[in-house]
Amino acid sequence: MTLGERIRTLRKARKMTLQQLAGDAITKGMLSLIENNKAKPSMESLQHIASMLGVTVSELLEESSQEKKALVKMVEDLFLPLDFPNVPVLQQILTLITPYLSSLSRGYIDGRLLDLYSRAAYELGQSDWEQYSKKAIHIYEENQIVRRLISLKLFRILTNFRERKYELALDLLLKERQQLEESNAWSDPLTRLDLDYTEAIFYYAVGQEEKALETMHTAIEFSKSQKILYRLDHLYRLAAVHAVMAMDKKQVEQYVKRLEAYADFTDDTETHGFIAFLWIHYYTTFERDIPKAEQLLDELMNTMEEDKDSNSEKVEMAKIAYYKGEEHRALELLLENETPSYISHPIDLSIYSEREYYLAKIYADRGEIQKALAIVEESWKTLQTFFETPYQVQMKQLRDELLAK
């Protein structure tokens, strides 16, 4: 029950008209808007309404607050497990929160609901996400809820990153971090690790590899010194992916060992899956050890639910099929696959470009040069704007070969 509904219920229980409850303190029209959650009462109006109904302000707000607490729990249970946009779930979140929007104006619970609404609205492409995000930030600032405040500010910065405005996102992040450090507004180690991890990702995106590595290793050492595991798996994954692209097998093994220790300690099956995929990708792309890659892929697929194979695994299946001479099977797998729309980092986009690379190779093998070239050119438009990666290099080589034919 919202605050407006609570007021109306109490008014009717006391057999009072709108005019009687409004009295001389507020207008009948304003009271009607409050009851219909189209206007928020001032503290003076709340005190008047509570007095007229014979309850305290806290009693008037209590039921609404308890209901909103339950709503936050329900929405977080829906939102937090999402690894990527799930439209039905996101729409459900908006449906749950929307009736309360007009009454959300103060306190942690209201800020959190506005926060979650704005994130879901952004994922669904709704233009109102920003206004509710700003409102949540105002509430967090007013109540000094620092960790939530920084998390939401990071989310707003990440929206620029997801729109591939990498330099802008990095600039905004560095300015925000500088302001926080100068004001000494935070001392939470988890928040620092969030900032470190995001900063390392952003440095990689703009090709500042040395700064990315420095930030990443500093974060890993800080995590160890604080004896906390938060973000440690993400940092090790980032380091492992960098080692793979550098074709440094010893470093890959080093970070994989650390990831395995983390996964064993936390019983994290998802991290074990990431490790398996990393090696499969390494063997298909860099060592061309197809039997080894196929063995690992079979083992990985046996541990996954039947309908859970992702786009990444399908591309690896296609690569293995291609090198085994099963071009028809490889083509089928590639055509039923596409780069997920939520992928935005240049490294991820570069890795996913292998779908286009092998698709073009198959068409070229069949003599369909123009079709292959069209696929390569489309992919190259994006890849050439990134810093150099092995995936960019192989695509350029294929492009040069096709242009020469």
The DSSP code sequence of 52-119 is HHTS-HHHHHHHHHHHHHHHHHHHHHHHTT-SS--HHHHHHHHHHHGGGGGG--SHHHHHHHHHHHHH
Mean pLDDT within 1-12: 84
What distances in angstroms separate CA 239 from CA 10, 143, 178, 248, one per listed residue? 60, 37, 25, 11
All residues at 6 or more sequence positions from 36 whose CB lies less than 8 Å from its CB, including other chains: 4
Q: Which of 116, 124, 121, 136 has its CA nearest to residue 73? A: 116
Return the DSSP state at 26. S
| pTM of the predicted model over 0.85 | no
Per-residue model confidence (pLDDT) at position 120: 97
pLDDT reported for residue 260: 93
Per-residue pLDDT at 4 exceeds 60? yes
pLDDT exceeds cutoff 90 at 381: yes
29 — pLDDT class (breaks 50, 70, 90): very high
Upper half-sphere CA count for residue 207 (Cβ side, 13 Å): 8
| Mean pLDDT value across the chain | 90
Question: Would you say residue 64 has pLDDT above 70?
Answer: no
User: Closest Cα to residue 374, out of 356, 391, 392?
Assistant: 356
For the record, the structure tokens of 129 come out as 């996400």
Q: Does 94 have pLDDT greater than 60?
A: yes
Q: Give Cβ neighbours of residue 393 (< 8 Å, ≥ 6 apart).
A: none
Per-residue pLDDT, 138: 94
